[in-house]
Amino acid sequence: MMKVRTLIIDDEPLAREGVRMMLEDDPDISIIGECADGRQAVSEIRVQTPDLVFLDVQMPEMTGFDVLAEVGVELIPAVIFVTAYDKYALEAFEVHALDYLLKPFTRQRFVKALERAKASLRHTSSENISHRLAALLQDLKPGEKYLERVVIKEAGRLSFLSVEELDWVEAADTYVRLHVGGKSHLIRGTMGGLESRLDPTKFLRVHRSTIINVKRIKELHPLFHGEYVITLLDGTQLNSGRSYREKLRPLLENPF
């Protein structure tokens, strides 16, 4: 078995050191990095594409769940959550067969979680693990209505934009750019955060940097390996990402 490329994500230096020390005893593990906050974690996961992530749930500004939503669970093969979370969340981890370490944890419990993760990587498809993560995020999401309008702050005034007017959305560093009828508006936020607030029957994330209003799609032109060129009603052309092809499948299978 090739070494499991592992990333440690925790805002507490001592916690990262503790995980690293226990991992160094395992010959199957290759530690590829450490992250001290969610934003760094998103970047490192995208660049390093680890096999296994030790992910702290309670981090300031961006939680472990925010990290998963921002990266896209399709890109994270296996996760061991490190948490001091409440009973409800722990039950959710167990229901979806996702392992966790409850702080403070013993070496024995750590080794058990690590062995389960390695077994999962050997015998479970990454698609299956992705489905578990997606289901977990859905279960832990607070019950709330989908976003109906967005507040736009421009030129010293506030205006309100109905989400129904959106054509598409693109990532812009720590902002998102909303495209509406040939104009664009920049608001602070993340793609994962916005995606979680939009109705998935009306908006699709087709790339890590792109969300599209389904009603604005005119054509889909297939490329290679499940990628598409998506043409909108106004002629805008956007590329979908390979890992997001499953989200386009309902559109392709709908005969009406």
Average pLDDT, the chain: 85
150-253 fold: OB fold (Dihydrolipoamide Acetyltransferase, E2P) (2.40.50)
Judge residue 89's burial from the number of C-beta atoms within 10 Å of its C-beta, 0-12 exposed, 13-18 middle, 19 or more buried. Answer: middle
**pLDDT reported for residue 256:** 52
CATH 2.40.50.1020 in the chain is located at 150-253
Measuring CA to CA, how many Å separate 91 from each of 10, 86, 104, 140, 239? 22, 9, 18, 11, 38
**pLDDT reported for residue 245:** 78
Q: What is the percentage of the chain residues whose pLDDT exceeds 90?
A: 41
- pLDDT band for position 10 (cuts 50, 70, 90): very high
Mean pLDDT of 150-170: 86
* Backbone CA torsion sign across 137, 145, 66, 216: positive
Q: Which CATH number applies to 4-140?
A: 3.40.50.2300
CATH 3.40.50.2300 in the chain is located at 4-140
pTM over 0.75: no
- pLDDT band for position 213 (cuts 50, 70, 90): very high
